[in-house]
Amino acid sequence: MEMKHRKLPTTKDMRPEEFKNNDYLLRMAEELNRDGAGIVLGTLDDLINWGRSNSVWSLALGTSCCAIEFMALGAARYDMARFGFEVTRNSPRQADLLMVLGTINYRMAPVLKRLYDQMAEPKYVIAVGGCTISGGPFRKSYYVVNGIDKIVPVDVYIPGCPPRPEALFYGMMQLQRKIKMERFLGKRDRNEVPQGLMENKEEKA
């Protein structure tokens, strides 16, 4: 007898069959590397990146609600240690990743910028929750920054209010993929000045 499939849930935004895990990116990078990269450096890169991507130390800048879901990630049920994320550092000097968890407002913005500047390269930023992406529910407020990408460059956005722990994992694993694809020995290509800021400056001038 044929097994009946469970009906897939229907959502307004994205259908489950459209969901891509983005692992094709890794395969693509592998292919490219096979042809182009030097054997010694390329292999060394792979090794280093394997290590880097599985031991991302984060600076958790938890200002509000989203931070509590991040705490749940650290506890036994979700256990982010499985992916090498369990070490959170409270000093920017020791962190690879800036997790921005929660609303960033006009008073906090300089602090966020400063923390980012204090981190050593290579560094990454994950924007967690609607607030950090666009201002979220507080978009119309006089005091809330409408998206932290106006202040620092962002590598991965995790939408939600707050995102579920699974969503956080998914986002963090996307970052791992990103790290794995990078060339560590050599120049990194990063946009140091975020676009929004440039625009602001021009406007002022």
Q: What angle (nearest 5°) sits at the alpha carbon of residue 193, between those of residues 189 and 199?
A: 135
CA atoms of 100 and 32, how far apart (whole Å) = 33
Q: How far is the CB of 147 from ligand SF4 (least distance, A)?
A: 12
130 touches, from ligand SF4, other proteins, none (C-beta below 5 to 8 Å by class): ligand SF4
Which range in 64-72, 107-115, 139-147, 165-173 contacts ligand SF4 by CB under 6 A? 64-72
- Residue 9 is encoded by which pair of tokens? 């849930």
Give the residue, chosen from 64, 91, 195, 200, that forms a contact with ligand SF4 under the rule CB under 6 A: 64
> Dihedral of CA 15/16/17/23: which sign?
positive
**147 scored as a contact of ligand SF4 (CB under 6 A):** no
CA atoms of 110 and 7, how far apart (whole Å) = 49
- List C-alpha distances in Å: 29 to 22, 24, 89: 12, 9, 30
Scan residues 125-154 and list those touching other proteins (CB under 8 A).
137-138, 140-145, 150-151
Residue 37 or 133: the one with the smaller Cβ distance to ligand SF4 is: 133
Closest among 21, 32, 18, 20 to 176, alpha carbons compared: 21
One-letter amino acid of 135? G
**119 scored as a contact of other proteins (CB under 8 A):** no
Residue 108 or 175: the one with the smaller Cβ distance to other proteins is: 108
CA atoms of 59 and 63, how far apart (whole Å) = 12
Axis crossing angle, helix 39-53 with helix 165-181, rounded to the nearest 10: 160
Total binding residues toward ligand SF4, as defined by CB under 6 A = 12
Give the residue, chosen from 37, 58, 98, 130, that forms a contact with ligand SF4 under the rule CB under 6 A: 130
**65 scored as a contact of ligand SF4 (CB under 6 A):** yes
CA atoms of 112 and 107, how far apart (whole Å) = 10
- Residue 66 is encoded by which pair of tokens? 């989203």
Q: How far is the CB of 205 from ligand SF4 (least distance, A)?
A: 33
**53 scored as a contact of ligand SF4 (CB under 6 A):** no
Which parts of this chain interact with ligand SF4 (CB under 6 A)?
64-66, 102-103, 129-131, 136-137, 161-162
Which parts of this chain interact with other proteins (CB under 8 A)?
60-65, 67-69, 71-72, 75-77, 88, 90, 102-103, 105-111, 113-115, 137-138, 140-145, 150-151, 161-162, 164, 197, 200
